[in-house]
Amino acid sequence: MVHISNHNKGLRYQSHEAMKEALKHEEKVYQWLMRSYKELIQKIMALF
């Protein structure tokens, strides 16, 4: 019984770490999107 609960803790920890990594990645993607978006707006403004 103890073995199973320890295993579950390990899995929970791993998934928590994976989520932190995913969030870091998402933040980078979001920042990149915002930068691209701002550049796009500047290009459009330059046309007018």
Confidence of residue 15 (pLDDT cuts 50, 70, 90): confident
The pLDDT value given to residue 11: 74
**Total Cβ atoms within 10 A of residue 12:** 10
Angle at 41 between CA 40 and CA 43, to 5 degrees: 65
Confidence of residue 1 (pLDDT cuts 50, 70, 90): low
Structure-model confidence comparison of residues 27 and 16, the more confident one:
27
